[in-house]
A = this chain, B = another copy of it.
């Protein structure tokens, strides 16, 4: 009588986890320093001291009954107000507390937001390469995910394919910029063109099309990147944010939904999120974590190492002969695989060189591989000869 649906899924662990598990096994055999593990997107720099100090202050100075008490269903008021004020200050928006719903990271944010705006019979479009966990979020709300093929020359949007796939059933579009796995930030031109098409299609179809922007890497932007605040460019938009990468606290599960005040039904969506969380048993993020991030909203960890690592990897790998679009954010890059089968390519790198990279197939973008360079610069430097040996296996 147990659910065959979920039981069957347990037999299919993610490819990325598979590579990661292999790297852990190898680390036991050859020593962790001899495994070049670029498989996971776990921040490698510490949380800001101010976050740690704020947590300790809360624990030392607050009344524990109040501090650890239930959060209101829609989140702690002061936290919601502070998030709205920070976004308004930084991006010229007009959020109020009622537009903010604290969530357990971007995963919680997307899972809630999508249930607000899509359901049975709807389509949700996203763009390859994309984060594969979108599939369960969207399946979970009863809608169907359709994936627009990548523009592999720039990893901006393939608008031709997008316009072909647009149809009346599309209730929402999800974008992820800065992008995992490409490391590319959508330009103002891209966002404005996307907004223009969506506005036109809304008129044509006579219904809203919501734009969910998945923005956990928003604060990890490299020099001179054009990085527009997406919700400023399209009214029916919902920002799905996580502090996981900006504050290096992915395990603490904290992020938010920010509903564009100009969106249709803007004032309904957060209360709807509150109802949705009753079905999932999710409830609010932990009180103490809400209160702690409230104090460090405009800060980040020292994320400069990611740009340093990108600079080394991009320069050296392209010098070796790898083809890659240069990232301008995140801690990922997404070069072309040296053979069409990126899965075979990545396994060979793992088995022959202890170089752990993951195939683009996981992101519905075959022929590429992802390097997660949220690692030490020392490891990045040591890995260059290994990437060279990998290249020489095929040339």
Measured CB to CB, the residues of A under 8 A from B are 1-3, 5-7, 9-10, 17, 40, 42-47, 52, 55-56, 59-60, 63-65, 67-71, 73, 103-105, 107-112, 115-119, 122, 133, 136-137, 139-140, 171, 207-210, 248-254, 264-265, 268-269, 271-272, 274-276, 278-289
**In the complex, residue of chain B having the shortest beta-carbon distance to the beta carbon of A270:** B10
Report B-chain residues with C-beta under 8 Å of the C-beta of A111: 279-282
Report B-chain residues with C-beta under 8 Å of the C-beta of A276: 6
Report B-chain residues with C-beta under 8 Å of the C-beta of A52: 59, 64
Question: Is there an interface contact between A272 and B7, defined as CB atoms closer than 8 Å?
Answer: yes
Report B-chain residues with C-beta under 8 Å of the C-beta of A253: 283-286
Question: Which residue of B9, B60, B104, B269 is within 8 Å of A2 (Cβ)?
Answer: B269
How far is it, in angstroms, between the C-alpha of A353 and the C-alpha of B119 when the chains are bound? 46
**In the complex, residue of chain B having the shortest beta-carbon distance to the beta carbon of A247:** B68
How far is it, in angstroms, between the C-alpha of A248 and the C-alpha of B70 when the chains are bound? 10
Q: Say how many copies of this protein the assembly contains.
A: 2
Given contacts A119-B3, A209-B1, contact A104 B252 (CB under 8 A): no
Report B-chain residues with C-beta under 8 Å of the C-beta of A46: 63-65
Report B-chain residues with C-beta under 8 Å of the C-beta of A252: 68, 286-288
**In the complex, residue of chain B having the shortest beta-carbon distance to the beta carbon of A271:** B10
Known: A107-B282, A137-B281. 6 other contacts (CB 8 A): A7-B268, A43-B65, A105-B283, A109-B281, A110-B281, A139-B279
Report B-chain residues with C-beta under 8 Å of the C-beta of A42: 65, 69-70
**In the complex, residue of chain B having the shortest beta-carbon distance to the beta carbon of A62:** B52
Question: Is there an interface contact between A286 and B207, defined as CB atoms closer than 8 Å?
Answer: no
Report B-chain residues with C-beta under 8 Å of the C-beta of A103: 281
How far is it, in angstroms, between the C-alpha of A42 and the C-alpha of B69 when the chains are bound? 7
Question: Is there an interface contact between B104 and A282, defined as CB atoms closer than 8 Å?
Answer: yes
**In the complex, residue of chain B having the shortest beta-carbon distance to the beta carbon of A280:** B280
A125 to chain B, nearest CB (A): 14
* 23 sample A-B contacts, Cβ–Cβ < 8 Å, listed by A number: A1-B117, A1-B118, A1-B122, A1-B171, A1-B207, A2-B208, A3-B272, A6-B115, A6-B116, A9-B275, A10-B274, A43-B69, A55-B59, A70-B251, A103-B281, A104-B281, A105-B283, A107-B283, A111-B279, A133-B278, A140-B279, A252-B288, A254-B286
A112 to chain B, nearest CB (A): 7
Report B-chain residues with C-beta under 8 Å of the C-beta of A209: 1
**In the complex, residue of chain B having the shortest beta-carbon distance to the beta carbon of A110:** B281
How far is it, in angstroms, between the C-alpha of A2 and the C-alpha of B122 when the chains are bound? 11
Question: Is there an interface contact between A287 and B1, defined as CB atoms closer than 8 Å?
Answer: no
How far is it, in angstroms, between the C-alpha of A137 and the C-alpha of B280 when the chains are bound? 7
Question: Is there an interface contact between B1 and A68, defined as CB atoms closer than 8 Å?
Answer: no
Question: Which residue of B3, B17, B69, B119 is within 8 Å of A5 (Cβ)?
Answer: B119
Question: Is there an interface contact between A283 and B108, defined as CB atoms closer than 8 Å?
Answer: yes
Report B-chain residues with C-beta under 8 Å of the C-beta of A119: 3, 5
Question: Is there an interface contact between B1 and A64, defined as CB atoms closer than 8 Å?
Answer: no
Nearest first, the 7 A-B pairs at minimum CB distance are: A111-B281, A251-B287, A280-B280, A140-B279, A107-B281, A10-B271, A46-B64
Question: Which residue of B118, B251, B269, B279 is within 8 Å of A68 (Cβ)?
Answer: B251
Find the residue from A17, A112, A272 having the highest chain B CB count within 10 A.
A272
**In the complex, residue of chain B having the shortest beta-carbon distance to the beta carbon of A251:** B287
**In the complex, residue of chain B having the shortest beta-carbon distance to the beta carbon of A210:** B1
Question: Is there an interface contact between B7 and A69, defined as CB atoms closer than 8 Å?
Answer: no
